Amino acid sequence: MSPFNCVTGEVCLIFLKRRLQSHITKGLDKLVSLRCKIIVENCGLEFLRGCDRSGPYPETFWPLLRKGNIEVTLFNLRSLNESHSESTRDILTKLFETQLKYLPLLYTPSGVSRTKFSNFCGQTIKRAWDPTMSKLLGLLSSTTLSDTLPADPHKLVINLSLKSLSHPQLEVLSPGLQFKCQHKIIETSQVQAQFKNLCDQLE
């Protein structure tokens, strides 16, 4: 095994800085920084795609919708998610354009130095991806649409008949809707009547 393959991490960076001119190492430093920013934004984009696939969205989405007096629905959550995704794609486009200015520097060093730089970039990017994704996953809200307004009218009325509602349900039901439902098992006819009453209030 070549001894060069064992040179990684900070040792790899020291190897490069001792052998390359300062203006080249500064440019490579900038390139590493850009690649880390790109991987972080790519991580964020993948995270947002996962939100659409799995359902939970970042907890910041809920107050953003309410602040704009926008109803919390799956459609609106997905629209907000798409807006964030589009913004992230714009950032990535600018980062890629900036990176092009520094790519010619990769052809200046020797083959050994390029290998060292590639190894260093690979390790740095890995360090950037894992913590970023962990941090983003920690932002997922435990509140889902099923916690607030179930699509099934029977479940909706049954939930409203409970003596205590969850905090998310209370928030969603706070605009002043009045629900008259006894705390007991409800017959089908009562469910239909209650749901009709609810629909009338929402019109």
User: How far apart (Å, rounded) are the C-alpha atoms in residues 133 and 15?
Assistant: 30
Answering whether pTM is above 0.75, one says: no
| Of the candidates 109, 105, 119, the residue with the CA atom closest to the CA atom of residue 20 | 109
Closest CA to 84 of 63, 58, 56, 66: 58
The structural domains of the chain, with segments of one domain joined by +, span 10-138, 153-200
Question: Can you tell me the mean pLDDT for 166-183?
Answer: 46
Answer whether residue 6 shows pLDDT above 50.
Answer: no
Q: Please say whether the beta carbons of 61 and 80 come within 8 A.
A: yes
Task: Report pLDDT digits (tens) over 69-86.
Answer: 888 788 888 888 899 899
- The CA distance from 79 to 67, in Å, is 15
Strand locations in the chain (E):
none
Q: Examine the pLDDT at 179 and tell me if it is beyond 90.
A: no
**Of the ranges 63-72, 112-121, 165-174, which one carries the lowest mean pLDDT score?**
165-174
Q: What is the spatial distance between Cα 112 and Cα 121, in angstroms, rounded to a whole number?
A: 14
Q: State pLDDT tens for residues 106-153.
A: 776 666 666 666 766 776 667 777 778 788 877 776 655 544 444 444
Cα of first residue to Cα of last residue in the chain, in angstroms, is 74
